[in-house]
Chains A and B, each alone.
Chain A
Amino acid sequence: MNEKLQRVFRPLIIILAIYLVLLIGPVASLDIPAIAAAAAKNPLQLVQFLIIGIANGAIMAIIALGYTLVYGIIELINFAHGDVVMVGTFTSLTILSLTGTLDTKDPVHIILGLILALVIAIVVCAILNAAVERLAYRRLRNAPRLAPLISAIGMSFIIENFGLMWAGQTWLVPSFGTTGGASQKNFPDLLVAMYTNLGLNANILAFTGIHLRLTITGLVVIILAAILMLGLRFFIQNTTLGKAMRATAQNRDAAKMLGINIDNVISATFLIGGGLAGAAGIMTGLYNNTAWWFMGFRAGLFAFTAAVLGGIGNITGAMLGGFIIGIVASFSDGVLDARWTEAWVFAILVLILMLRPSGLLGEQVGDKA
């Protein structure tokens, strides 16, 4: 579209968008006076919703990184990624059970158990993700776009059913109970329990004396997410492998001519993406305290949305998108009506994509990853 036309159309689109919000708003309980009154009565609660949104967004951002990394390199939406996160949660829960961490009150045991579970979940998910690439995507790399997409959806179903079987293995994790693999499983909040046992207040904001709440688990999740995000950024920008990944993303053939082993670089990308999924898996488990075989689907959908919102293929964008969606969902749940949360999240996605079709920070297909 030429410049002039665009200049005419953009305000039109904005007007249309505002009109849509005004039209749908009252239906979706966007009762502005009532909300303003509630907010004025309890302004601290808005801060609380922000805190919850940031913690949820941090987990979403880590999952979104996995989507965006893979998309950046081979332009494939890896639908199985959310389910790899689920495997991460079940791996860590199993390790915590096998090491007796679920039943202990010894803080050293709990911390060592958690670190071990984190490491093993990262390793297992990295290998799983790379195996998925080797099995289901590599042979389709030069096939029409739809083929790997469908095979990604297939892998997602396979992993989900694997999770369904896993969650039924009571001999492995006694706390799975006798109700079969399909029901939700309990993932105890070990850090909060540890803090409480030590006589400390698990709410690290309790000292402020005002009604704000962030549990130690929430804090650990946010810090861990920040470390992972910054680490990934550093890795992509400054290491040889990171540079090779960026080169592959820009132009696969040129990278090949320069002696970069494309297959290895792509495998490495899937390993890293899987590792992030493993970390997200244990973070989700610890923070939400439930595990079930279907959890990866929704987590993946929102994370993918976050990646698109920020500009798919763009790492900073994925993080930004994750936080935005986490915060929007939290405010919608808290201030509006929980029934409309999904609608609001996707309405905002549509709005932003109408104004910026390549996402908030741009799509970076070309110099992405």
Chain B
Amino acid sequence: MSKRLFVLVSLVITASMLLAACGGAGGGGKTLKIVSDLPMTGASLTQTQTIVNAEQLRLSEANNKACGGKYTLAYEVDDDATAATGAWDGATETQNATKAAADKSVIAYLGTFNSGAAKLSIPITNQANDLLMFSPANTYPGLTHTAAGITAPNEPNVYYPTGQRNYARVAATDDLQGPVDVNFLLSLNIKSLYVLNDTQAYGLGIGTSVAQAAKAAGINVIANEGYDPKASNYQALMTKISTSNNGNPPDAIFLGAVVDSNTAQIMKDKVSIMGDNTKVKFMGPDGIYTQAFIDGSGATVAEGAYASTPGVAKKDLNAMGQKFYTDYAAKYGPTNEPYAVYGYDLMNGLLAAIENVCAAGGDPSDRPTVTKAVFALKDFQGALGTWSIDQNGDISLPYFLIGQAQSGKFVGIGTFSLKK
């Protein structure tokens, strides 16, 4: 590079950095920054974009202000996925968390989407003066509590080096989802089950949870097998499964995976070898409860497949939840993604916590104060219902929505929970 060009480039970079710095300081009062960190490149985008939209919708309802206008709320969307992998990426996630931790004005890190990513960023935010990490979608139990047979022995303490809890979430965890799914499968008269998982923290966790619950319920669990999520097809695997139940196909296949894990290919090969989803039932967790799964598989192939997700069927939502979906449709177009309302209620809870801090005379720009306020949310009236955050950071709502692919769309069958 010639010297003149070098000087020019440096000038441009310096100028843009100065401008960017000024941009942050504009507006009235002190700025509290909220960072969203979700995979915005890759198949999960169909889910994550609705979460971001919903969070922004709630912020705009508050006019981006908190505590009667004393604080301005800034919102930044980070992407923990890379185009090279099409999914979340460890290095990017670490980088995003470190960046947010270093920025003094950040008071909340809203993420992650994938439980595996949260494993990396919780310790970083934990050591950044208990920066609040609040996830709309993580469901792996080990991030907050132990679950026999699913979590590792050192979980969850390994993620909290300071010993203080700074991570909370609004989605119900897989150790609850597995038994709910199994109850549902029992209602379909399933006697034998083949579980596949994509070998990631989330897929393996939910797969194991389902396998354990099914065994306990007396279902013949033939295997809980990991598959390679990048293989070109699964014909041999499906051929094996088609005779795995003493020469017959199993009554049902459960797929523990996120949609990026080549799930459309699994669905296709399952149907081409074992027939449509009426004979051998097919079910998956929240990771495949998305339009992208049906579009990729093709409406006829996916027809009849079941999926469950932490959530509440639209018809079972309260007035605030109903209003959310109407407002969302008006601003961004109608959506069916069950995680959208979670993004909304996540922001709802965060804003309530900030208001509570102000009402108590505290300083919402102090990270530990905000974190404590979120953990102190009790009987909060949100769009999902009335909920609390417990001392582990888990939400008190055990609700799951089970849907079925019908004519190219997931249609909610109903809201299910474990009878306690």
Contacts and interface: CB of A to CB of B under 8 A. Distances in A.
A49 B239 contact: yes
A183 B236 contact: no
Contacts of A41: 247
B46 A180 contact: yes
A89 to B, nearest CB: 11
B236 A334 contact: yes
Interface in B2-49: 41-46, 49
Given A184-B264, A288-B232, A289-B268, A333 B240 contact: yes
A338 B273 contact: no
Given A53-B236, A184-B292, A290-B296, A329 B86 contact: no
A49 B273 CA distance: 13
B240 A335 contact: yes
A338 B225 contact: yes
A27 B189 CA distance: 35
Contacts of B298: 175, 186, 188, 289
Contact of B228 (A161, A179, A330, A338): A338
Contacts of B227: 338-339
A146 to B, nearest CB: 19
Contacts of A53: 236
A185 interface: yes
Interface of B: 41-46, 49, 83-86, 196, 199, 225-228, 230-237, 239-240, 243, 247, 259, 262-265, 268, 272-273, 290-292, 295-298, 301
A177 B234 contact: no
Which of the four size classes fits the interface of chain A?
A: 35 or more
A103 to B, nearest CB: 13
A182 B262 contact: no
B296 A341 contact: no
Nearest to A342: B228
Given A290-B264, A297-B230, A185 B237 contact: no
Interface in A254-301: 284, 287-290, 292-295, 297-299
A192 B298 CA distance: 15
Interface of A: 41-42, 45, 48-49, 52-53, 56, 59, 157, 160-161, 164, 175-180, 182-186, 188-189, 192, 213, 215, 284, 287-290, 292-295, 297-299, 302, 329-331, 333-335, 337-339, 341-342
A23 B272 CA distance: 37
Given A52-B239, A185-B296, A333-B231, 11 more contacts: A42-B247, A56-B233, A161-B83, A179-B291, A182-B41, A183-B259, A294-B230, A298-B231, A329-B236, A334-B237, A339-B199
A155 B83 CA distance: 13
Contact of B230 (A177, A183, A298): A298
A276 to B, nearest CB: 17
B236 A185 contact: no
Contact of A52 (B226, B235, B243): B235
11 contacts: A183-B264, A183-B296, A184-B262, A185-B295, A186-B297, A288-B268, A289-B268, A298-B231, A329-B236, A330-B236, A331-B236
Contacts of A184: 43, 262-265, 292, 295-297
Contacts of B226: 337-339
Contact of A298 (B84, B225, B232, B297): B232
B178 to A, nearest CB: 20
